[in-house]
Amino acid sequence: MSEIEAIQSEALQDVAPVKHDAVIQQVALSVCIPTYNRARYLDNLLAELVSQIGELKFSYELLIGDNCSTDATEEVVGRYQDKLNIRYFRRPSNLGSAENLNQLYRSAQGKYVLYHADDDLPILAEINNNIDIFERNPGVDVIFAPWFIHDLPTRQDVTAFYRQDDNYLIEQHDYAKLLALVLSHHLFPEIYLARREVMDRIYFSAPEHAFYAFVHAAEMLGSSAVYFSKTPFYRSVSRYFADETRAQAGNEEVKHAWDRYRGGLEYLFGKFAHTLPAAERPEWLNAINQFVLARMKVALRLRTHEGGNWIDNYYIANRVRALGEVSDLPAPYDLYRVNAAFEYLTKLDPFKPEPPKYATLRRAPLQVFHHAHGFAETEFLVLDDDAAIPHHTIVVTPIPMDIAVPAGREVRFVSELETLAKFP
């Protein structure tokens, strides 16, 4: 497919640099920072900005949208009011993250806007360069870029979240080129600078069944040209404090969001699919499938490393196998089957409200379940006498066996063979 296989870069206008010593009547940059009960992180972000803000060559405002926090957020903001140009919005109730950000965008007075998480860091020198690009190119309304994953205690950029081989200009309504760029580079248009008026034209919702960044990029392209810079201007902090352990939102999302990725890509495809000959549509759909498959394999690798949720992991592995990639699973397919079957066993609750006990027979030792990750943490009685099976017990055998239930006792027999058959 020519669009997917051959994305060409396009240079923006190369004119004299913008002079920054001119009097600016309007604030140049509005940095929009939504927050909720994150006082510790916000405090550190603002402290970092105090030390770095002199690198920004343009006038600015920091808009902080406090979504009705119950911690010390208001006090933290108060300590920086005389050190940074802050406009603080304390919401009377929690509006939800999407509406909190929308209200910040609508309140922004800058010529350009930047969403900024309360626990990340900007690269101000590159923000300067991007504002220069806007100033030289009035037809471009949005600049997307990759971002660094950053370890703050060591001040190290660990990696870029994704990489581009060049800069790309995409003209208004060229949805095919946008989708081709996303698919060919596994690009996520989440970090961007935009002209303020873009926020008036578009309502930034969080769709339930489509990844918001693909949807938003499509909507932006409907109103102007957009530019994809290969140079990051943003750092997503993976570790803020030396003593912390926390899950990264991006990592958590990738573990379950592949179908939303598909929804966003198909939404973008729908912007131009009706213009294509029928013979070209399958190639685009296959490329979307391959993108989603790659994200599913990333998700399964993360989930396998963490352990747990094995039934869910089995379903993901089954889908990867169905798409022809069983040899590329992060673990043997049977590992997912065995762990899912054992998790199913431990979720059985046949004697409610009494919790079950588990037992095996010495004369019929288990053949499979002792390989399951959670087996060692589950107590199994080993019985020498069938008549001694305790009340409220699940007896696990390798194959179905004809065993008499002791009189007056609630007992359930489960075989490895039958349980594994539920996870083919």
Q: Is the dihedral of CA 311, 312, 315, 317 positive or negative?
A: negative
Mean pLDDT of 38-63: 97
Residues pairing with 358 in the sheet: 380, 394
> Taking the model in full, what pTM does it have?
0.84
- pLDDT average, residue stretch 294-316: 93
Least confident window among 27-36, 143-152, 234-243, 250-259? 250-259
| Residues in Cβ contact with 361 at an 8 Å cutoff, skipping those fewer than 6 apart | 382, 383, 386, 395, 397, 401
pLDDT recorded at residue 90: 97
CA distances from 300 to 212, 318, 326, 380 (A): 22, 11, 12, 30
- CA–CA dist 400, 411 (Å, integer): 14
Q: Assess whether pLDDT exceeds 90 at residue 256.
A: no
238 Cβ contact partners less than 8 Å away, ≥ 6 residues apart: 149, 150, 151, 158, 248
CB 316 within 8 A of CB 306: no
pLDDT at 18 over 90: no
Helix axes 281-306, 258-270, angle to 10 degrees: 160
Summary mean pLDDT of the chain = 91
Which among 15-19, 198-202, 384-388 has the top mean pLDDT?
A: 384-388
Identify the weakest region by mean pLDDT among 235-249, 251-265, 330-344: 235-249
Give, for 397, the enclosing helix (H) or strand (E). strand 393-397
Residues 6+ away with beta carbon under 8 Å from 50: 80, 83, 84
The region of weakest confidence among 217-226, 243-252, 362-371, 410-419 is: 243-252
**Residue showing tokens 């979240």:** 161
Q: What is the pLDDT of residue 15?
A: 36
| Structure confidence at residue 207 (pLDDT) | 83
User: In terms of pLDDT, which residue wins out, 118 or 22?
Assistant: 118
Higher pLDDT, 7 or 176: 176
Instruction: Report CA-CA distances (Å) from 279 to 3, 134, 184, 273, 288.
Output: 15, 39, 20, 11, 16
Helix (H) or strand (E) holding 43: helix 39-52
Q: For the ranges 37-51, 60-74, 242-256, 260-274, which has the lowest average pLDDT?
A: 242-256
Q: What is the mean pLDDT of residues 117-122?
A: 96
Domains of the chain, earliest start first:
2-239 (3.90.550.10), 251-339 (no CATH), 342-421 (no CATH)
Q: Mean pLDDT throughout 326-338? A: 92
Asked if residue 421 lies in contact with residue 338, where contact means CB atoms within 8 angstroms, the answer is no
pLDDT at residue number 251: 63
The pLDDT score that the predictor gives to residue 326 is 77
Per-residue confidence (pLDDT) for residue 20, from 0 to 100: 44
pLDDT for the residue numbered 208: 87
Instruction: Name the residue with tokens 């790659």.
Output: 294
Give the mean pLDDT of 93-114: 95
Question: How many degrees, rounded to 5, is the angle at CA 412 between CA 406 and CA 416?
Answer: 125
pLDDT score at 245: 64
C-alpha dist (Å) from residue 215 to 129, 195, 405: 26, 18, 59
Q: What percent of the chain has pLDDT over 70?
A: 92
**Contact of 341 with 420, CB cutoff 8 Å:** yes
- Asked if the model's pLDDT at residue 55 lies above 90, the reply is yes
Q: 63 forms bridges with which residues in the sheet? A: 32, 87
In this prediction, residue 25 carries a pLDDT of 66
Q: Which amino acid is at 127?
A: I
| Nearest alpha-carbon partner for 344 in 423, 263, 232 | 423
User: Is residue 59 within 8 Å of 27, Cβ to Cβ?
Assistant: yes
pLDDT tens digits for range 186-216: 999 999 999 999 988 887 677 889 999 999 9
Tell me, what's the pLDDT at 12? 60
